[in-house]
Structure 1
């Protein structure tokens, strides 16, 4: 099928199912968002229409689309203003690792469970006191017969409260150099030995969790890429995480910008030259995302590697979101600080951006690390 025909199919399907669609949200789904019945029905419709896991081979329920074809579909959903949700980290992070490093038996067993929603994964990489140095992790894995017994502590686990599985990086050979001796293990969270504790955030919700793991077991069949080969598998996951939605994320940031513009217009705040200047600067950064996404699409279409653009893009969108959150509140004056009425700790969309955006300088690779990547790999500067 040509890309034009694929776009036409997507447009026709969206038009036929628009009444059931979930409207597109802002640039990021809130950390503490819990899918409701509307979300679940829309996800079922997308699953039935085969609009999930688009790049997977057809035997596992995908469409075997190329990266440029996936970009085309994402653009059609974004232009229509409706969500094309992913199956969380299950689809975007662990599935690429299974497809690249899993055995045929693992792919046949694990991928259908992801597509059906039976398995929902969270990421067990970050640990207390290790910062961004993943190779310093201290969670241990001991092979006992046909199982791996895991003991350790993971933290900053997005959506851990909604998951029944975790892809864990643990040290299975303590005598090996620090980048070696690691294993990538799929660990059930509903068994003995795992205590999942939600972490309350500044927004009032519990989008992150920490896990205390005390002798929890996973079958050896759940080790992806083989024992002590976890670093290579983890790099596949991190590459998928950093790629994100570089080619279509512009639409979400543009929706947020337009929403702020509308609010400021209704408040009569656009006459302030300082506000207008700050809005212009924010708009330029949104356009930079669009340009970087197009460059990445062109690079991928030509069969190239867009890794350098990912580091540039990560810094651009995360720094923009921090600045945009501050701008949204500052430009509104005192009104920006007033929380919506109602029970509980309510915040509006712009207050949420301001509070949540700070952590995005750390997510998907800290901005300090990204700047080193740009300096060394793009500009050719010495280490």
Structure 2
């Protein structure tokens, strides 16, 4: 049996990680979502409508591009799966359109979500506009300041953006705030979780909806190169873009899979968001995963230059893949990320999201250490949202 058929089990567990730990008032709502997904998500009518949206609205398939100049500099052959060319600028629309379609079939009239870098918020606002639904996006005040272009986009698309000013004022608190709002609106709204995190069935659903990346990338790489890549890599916060591309290669034992997380400014707690490197088993937002926690066991403060990776937990499937050894996880610093951001911009004419630049940085480092290997990375989003922040704080010249 293939890996994707085996995991998760019917209770939403990937080994020891996952599950659904919910307040009593949400148990019936999540059970309804699970039933709807199992019934609708594999039906011909749902899938045909989703395929139409993917092709005629999102602009899929997105291409795989050969990074010729970056390859020449590193000595490895580096290829990019161009999710930055997906409509709205990132991979997030893959699951947002599908979640909104599911909500429509369930009779919901509103979509609620959290966002960090704003890409999930923009994608969900886009989906809400497409389906004629209300949209409410919760976003930390720090991220609102860093990602102003995406805040403007969400508002232009008709979404209500709710600033979150408590705690660290970042992604974790945005999730807390969105969950609290959803409690009072669950009958008419769907909480469209933005990654492979949260209570079951969201880690399963979002992985399945993002698997279009891996399906396309595998076929495209074989057509371009004639064989599978040696290495596949993707940045890692919650982990949706990574699970999307990993799903296409996870049964191929000869392909090494690599998740790239933020080392931030250092190794001390609060300076990074490197959950796979420093985390321990714990619970956050209704599921079990590897978690960065303080001495009392509570989710720890975290940091990343990339707002979309600024989360103390990680998807339960990634936690399982780490402990099982199937996927290798690496930590990349803010400085390495910025260097990759500038290099991809200057050498390939592609401005990446800071999140995606983590994967580019890892590919450059691995390529120099392993010349001749073929490396496919998921360029999960474009950097329009980051250009003002980078220019204002770091200038135009790079390192």
TM-score bucket (shorter structure)? under 0.3
Which has the higher Rg, Structure 1 or Structure 2? 1
Question: What's the TM-score, normalizing by structure 1?
Answer: 0.28
Higher RCO (CA < 8 A, seq sep 6+): 2
Structure with the largest fraction of helix = 1
TM-score (norm. length: structure 2): 0.27
